[in-house]
Chain A
Amino acid sequence: MKYFHLVWAALFRRKTRTLFTLLSVIAAFLLFGLLDSVRAAFLNAGNSIAGADRLVTISKLTFTMSLPKSLLGRIQAVPGVAEVTYANWFGGIYQDPKNFFPSEAVAENFFDLYPEWVLPAEQRKAFRETRSGAVIGASLARKYHWKIGDKIPLQATIFPQKNGSNTWTFDLVGIYHVSDPKLENQENVLFFNWDHFNEATAFGGGNTVGWYVLKLADRRQSDRVAQAIDALSADSDHETKTQTEQAFTASLVSQFADIGLIVGSIMGAVFFTLVLLTGNTMAQAVRERIPELAVLKTIGFSSHSILALVLAEAVLLLVLGGAIGMTLAGVVIDIVRVQLGNTLPLTPLDGSIWLLGLCLMVAIGLIVGALPALRGMRLRIVDALSGR
């Protein structure tokens, strides 16, 4: 630590060059921050801790096919099931297909199974008591400036009403928040009462539901409970498939795209370029300073401390630029999330992303510093001082 100012001075010996290199590093880690936030958002989609004790039961035939509501009691009776709820996909559109957000008709106890979605008690009461009531996520409310009391008209894509109208109008009675900022992407759903849906829909109602969600009494029993539930309707005309909520989401996400591969390849290209670029800068910096390093050795610095000094300089360069870049990425992500709501999947930069970033900074710093540092360590005082 006591040599910090020496390293600092060496780093800013050529201000323009260091500044430009720093800006390149900043750009690289800005990109890293943004892309890793996207990757984490996709990963978190199927990874909520609160969801670990929930199973989802869908039709085995195809997930668009509905299940009879009579299954409800039978699932409830399966040992190991603590609570069951059900929902229907609605898929309504607000004004323009581009504004798409998920909408679902849900049973009265739906929010009991999702404690991570926080809805004030009086709003829950209002939701139960208002037939045409709807509850939306906070970021959806921000995006469209909706507040409680507003009417939200949705165009049905699948379910027209019995009266022939394609427009369903809901009264906004509640706004839910998620407790974990990582899951903020889930704040973009509109929920409304299943009873209302069942009554008003032209078809697709008739006491059928889209899927069941159930809470396990003990999460270690998930396999046994899933098998028991699927056995209820084995060989019937509505066979079911029960799996953990995580597995269900993860399979959808992995079918959308191999995000990890895309992000990984881009970052590979970026960091390869970065290593070359900063490596070149460090090589230049050390080459210019050979006589100075020789002087340091002459006044008693050991070869190893020279090695350490140069390595420290490279790591400092990377950590400085990397930290600025990732901070910048954090700011950009916050702005985008406020401005665009959840149209882009981004999570805030959390500890694990920062840690990964920091490891990368140090690793790249050591790689680019290694060759110049070795050169500095091995130089012979006599040759270096005489400029040979």
Chain B
Amino acid sequence: MKSRIGGLLFGLGLILLIVLPAVGLLTLAPWWALVVLIVLLAAWLAFTRVGQQSWSVMEVGIATIPQRLGSSSVVVVGIAGVVGVLVALLSMAAGFEATLRQTGTDDTVIVVRGGAQTELNSVVDHDTATVVAQAPQVLHNAAGQPIASPELVVVAGIPKRSDGLDANVEIRGVGEHAWELRPDIKITAGRKFKPGLRELIVGKSAAVQFKNTDVGSTLKLSGQIWTIVGKFDSGDAHDSELWGDTDVVGQTYRRGGSTCSITMKLTDPKAFEALKATLTSDPRIKVDVSTTRDYYNRQSEQISQLIHILGITVGVIMAIGAVFGALNTMYAAVATRAREIATLRAIGFRGLPVIVSVLVETMLLATLGGALGAAIAWAIFDGYTAATLGSNFSQVVFNFSVTPQLLWGGLKWALAIGFIGGLFPAVRAARQPVTAGLREL
């Protein structure tokens, strides 16, 4: 009984003194810190006496893994599961964030009505639009006109290709300067819509998602026939939209000359504060001004935060399960090698080589599991296309993005699980009385 309480206290001490700091350090450490650690470990194994002893004990452990394939695979698969799910979920958030982040820049600003938060909520009347575009910080083109696009966002329900059910698509009416504002947009098929006509061009992702959006086909919106005349690729959230002429879209949806927002190019990104001051102090208008980068980053905040909470919660719970799986496996591994370890101790090996060898073995299995999980997540989910309702209540298509940071993060989780799962069995192996170990079957 006494020894049991002692063991418990020892275990607790181990958690407080070693496990928590080590895991904390690991999660914070940059990648090069780990490389340095591995190099140091390798040097220690190669050049010190205790290190060489550890190496030989480790060799035996690793050589016997094939005999314990079933139980060793528990560690590998368990950790692969954790890392795979974690990386997949976080890559969803990363992809969504990236899509919206790319949509904004620092040198374009978006103006909506005061308090509106999103374009869909906003109404900007014609007079306000005129005042806003005349601000001195707005860049003018060669013809001397301000590069500003009054834009209108409406949501239409049109059938999806996949199941024929209606989903919301964003129809954006843009002004004539929209192309100068967003020079990266390429027309990949057909041509641009002509101002004044009921013509639309379709974003790359929307074209994949919705029926009747091929170039040349027609779409019935609000009882009127629209022709799709082109397809564009912007590489960002606009790819999920259909674009037409602001005035024509406005007439169709009876907006009476009002729009939702004005997007403008700044003479210089540094001019933003001055522009904001000019517009917000103008008594004739009541508007909110933000750079498009800020605006679109804000749009992704809530959803990506939700996914992060989900991912970390699921990851932590799965990791707890995997730790116990690893503990089981490694305790069993140590138990089957009890006699061998006791023999080593009897002929003069110290405890440290035993600890190091069990720990390194577990971490190797964990690394394998982490790499496997990350690889599976990458193979299945990198570039995987999904869609969700964005802040304008319409479909935003995005690709999962398995970034190197996510892979590295997943590997860190694997190492942390391996460390905890290996440490306790390792210490037990080293602390076992030699006589008891020799008697073990």
* Chain B residues, Cβ within 8 Å of A93: 115, 117
- State the Cβ distance, B90 to closest chain A Cβ, in Å: 13
Query: Residue A335 at the B interface, CB < 8 A?
Result: no
- State the Cβ distance, A42 to closest chain B Cβ, in Å: 13
Take A17-B331, A277-B74 as given contacts and tell me if A255 and B395 are in contact as well, using a CB distance cutoff of 8 Å: yes
Cβ A255 vs Cβ B389 within 8 A: yes
Nearest chain-A residue to B381 (Cβ)? A265
Query: Residue A155 at the B interface, CB < 8 A?
Result: yes
Take A20-B327, A20-B328, A27-B318 as given contacts and tell me if A155 and B71 are in contact as well, using a CB distance cutoff of 8 Å: no
Take A62-B155, A239-B223, A251-B166 as given contacts and tell me if A272 and B81 are in contact as well, using a CB distance cutoff of 8 Å: yes
Interface positions of A from 252 to 281, Cβ below 8 Å from B: 252, 254-258, 265-266, 269-270, 272-274, 276-277, 280-281
Q: Find B85's partner among A255, A256, A269 (CB 8 Å cutoff).
A: A269
- State the Cβ distance, B397 to closest chain A Cβ, in Å: 12
Cβ A269 vs Cβ B389 within 8 A: no
Q: Complex Cα distance A220/B123, Å?
A: 41
Cβ B156 vs Cβ A61 within 8 A: yes
Cβ B81 vs Cβ A270 within 8 A: yes
Query: Residue B120 at the A interface, CB < 8 A?
Result: yes
- State the Cβ distance, A118 to closest chain B Cβ, in Å: 30
- State the Cβ distance, B323 to closest chain A Cβ, in Å: 9
- State the Cβ distance, A317 to closest chain B Cβ, in Å: 13
Interface positions of B from 83 to 115, Cβ below 8 Å from A: 84-85, 88-89, 113-115
* Chain B residues, Cβ within 8 Å of A344: 309
Cβ B114 vs Cβ A273 within 8 A: no
Q: Find B388's partner among A34, A65, A257 (CB 8 Å cutoff).
A: A257
User: A156-164, A348-356, A374-382: which lies at the B interface?
Assistant: A156-164
Nearest chain-B residue to A274 (Cβ)? B321
Cβ A277 vs Cβ B78 within 8 A: yes
- State the Cβ distance, B432 to closest chain A Cβ, in Å: 14
Number of interface residues, chain A, beta carbon within 8 A: 55
Take A17-B331, A61-B253, A280-B70 as given contacts and tell me if A24 and B325 are in contact as well, using a CB distance cutoff of 8 Å: yes
Q: Find B78's partner among A65, A256, A273 (CB 8 Å cutoff).
A: A273
- State the Cβ distance, B242 to closest chain A Cβ, in Å: 13
Binary interface encoding of chain A residues 102-136 relative to chain B, with 1 for a CB under 8 A from any of its CBs, else 0: 00000000000000000000000000000000000
Query: Residue A28 at the B interface, CB < 8 A?
Result: yes
Cβ B320 vs Cβ A23 within 8 A: yes
Q: Find B321's partner among A17, A23, A155 (CB 8 Å cutoff).
A: A23
- State the Cβ distance, B116 to closest chain A Cβ, in Å: 5
Interface positions of B from 1 to 38, Cβ below 8 Å from A: none
Query: Residue B205 at the A interface, CB < 8 A?
Result: no
Query: Residue A290 at the B interface, CB < 8 A?
Result: no
- State the Cβ distance, B111 to closest chain A Cβ, in Å: 15
Cβ A280 vs Cβ B329 within 8 A: yes
Binary interface encoding of chain B residues 204-229 relative to chain A, with 1 for a CB under 8 A from any of its CBs, else 0: 00000000000000000111000000
Q: Complex Cα distance A63/B324, Å?
A: 51
Q: Complex Cα distance A166/B313, Å?
A: 39
Cβ B318 vs Cβ A31 within 8 A: yes
Query: Residue B277 at the A interface, CB < 8 A?
Result: no
Q: Complex Cα distance A231/B167, Å?
A: 23
Binary interface encoding of chain A residues 133-152 relative to chain B, with 1 for a CB under 8 A from any of its CBs, else 0: 00000000000000000000
Cβ B74 vs Cβ A62 within 8 A: no
Interface positions of A from 209 to 230, Cβ below 8 Å from B: none
Nearest chain-A residue to B394 (Cβ)? A255
Take A35-B314, A256-B389 as given contacts and tell me if A21 and B114 are in contact as well, using a CB distance cutoff of 8 Å: no
* Chain A residues, Cβ within 8 Å of B327: 20
Query: Residue A283 at the B interface, CB < 8 A?
Result: yes
Query: Residue B63 at the A interface, CB < 8 A?
Result: no
Q: Complex Cα distance A353/B184, Å?
A: 50
* Chain B residues, Cβ within 8 Å of A62: 154-157, 253
Cβ B123 vs Cβ A30 within 8 A: no
Given A23-B321, A255-B389, 20 more A-B residue pairs with CB atoms under 8 Å apart are A27-B317, A27-B321, A31-B321, A62-B155, A63-B393, A64-B120, A64-B154, A158-B122, A160-B286, A166-B115, A203-B123, A251-B165, A251-B166, A269-B84, A272-B81, A274-B321, A277-B78, A277-B325, A280-B328, A281-B328
12 contacts between A and B (CB under 8 A): A20-B327, A24-B325, A62-B154, A62-B157, A97-B117, A158-B116, A164-B286, A239-B222, A256-B389, A270-B81, A273-B81, A276-B73
Residues of chain A having any CB pair with chain B under 8 Å: 16-17, 20-21, 23-24, 27-28, 30-31, 34-35, 60-65, 91, 93, 97-98, 155-158, 160, 164, 166, 203, 235, 237, 239, 241, 251-252, 254-258, 265-266, 269-270, 272-274, 276-277, 280-281, 283-284, 344
